[in-house]
Amino acid sequence: MDVLRTPEERFAGLPGFPYEPRYADVADGLRMAYVEAGPADGEPVVLLHGEPTWSFLYRHVMPELAAAGLRAIAVDLVGFGRSDKPADLAAHTYARHVEWTRALLFDALGLSGVTVVGQDWGGLIGLRVAAEHPERVARIVAANTGLPTGDIPMPEVWHQFKATVLRAPVLDIARLVQAGCRTRLAGEVRAAYDAPFPGEAYKAGPRAMPGLVPITPDNPAAPANRAAWQVLTTLDRPFLVAFSDGDPITGGMAPILLKSISGTSGLRHPVIEGAGHFLQEDAGTELGRHVAAFVTST
């Protein structure tokens, strides 16, 4: 496949994000990037972002985890951040993103006893990885995300978002992130979200992701997601639902997760007030404290 790699100078001077990038090959020379904070021997907490962000999104979460003695690992999905970017939309499939992420976490990094934290597409991928490899997973955190099978209609706002992403001649990444936040992003923060994408050719990942969501029961990814639901509903791992109070896209998934997944019982699940879809931007420190408390108390 035709793969692009963002020049490193694009990431100079990132505000509040001093972490040195690390890299690993996950498939035929395809490289994924990640950053770490906290002690190397700390319990691993994997942070998975969504569309169209990257690990920079977790810059307020990571210090809270590190302060609790945890090893925070924030990943850049393929097509995002510092990770390599297949230029063809068809190169991006749900199954490939699950496999690329699995290869990074378990083959390249050799992680076990992992707490998987997923938001947006980070949840769609992370929940699949957790369900398919439960022996590697200690806990799960779902934050403004879900695991669609196409059996429940997506909200109209999501369809509007999908149409915008597919049709826009120039995809304004920073504007999309801002639209999912309650707080006003500073210019340097908006620039950080634009940094991974020097031109339109680099944006196949963000453009492809909405079309990969299973929105009909016969979607190619639907059977695998249904199988993952079967595992997650009975999996004996603590499962935290940490949603914001202002996400029109995934907000309806919180009660479904709480009702369906046995690992949620007996836990106090926070509702983070005043935050939008990208709750890491609006309330990252608070989210980080909730995750740290969850990991250290279970």
Give yes or no for a contact between 87 and 204, defined as CB atoms under 8 angstroms apart. yes
- Active-site pick, 49, 92, 97, 277: 277
What is the DSSP pairing of strand 30-37 with strand 22-27?
antiparallel
Q: Give the span between the Cα atoms of 190 and 183, in whole angstroms.
A: 12
Give yes or no for a contact between 45 and 75, defined as CB atoms under 8 angstroms apart. no
Asked if 2 is an active-site residue, the reply is no
Pick from 250, 52, 277: nearest CA to 155: 250
At position 226, the amino acid (one-letter code) is R
What the block records as the tokens of 65 is: 């985890």
- Active-site pick, 49, 60, 92, 247: 247
- Active-site pick, 76, 84, 120, 282: 120
Asked if 247 is an active-site residue, the reply is yes
Biggest CA–CA distance in the chain, Å, is 48
Asked if 88 is an active-site residue, the reply is no
What the block records as the tokens of 157 is: 């706002």
Write the CB contacts of 175 (distance below 8 Å, at least 6 apart in sequence).
none
The catalytic residues are: 120, 247, 277
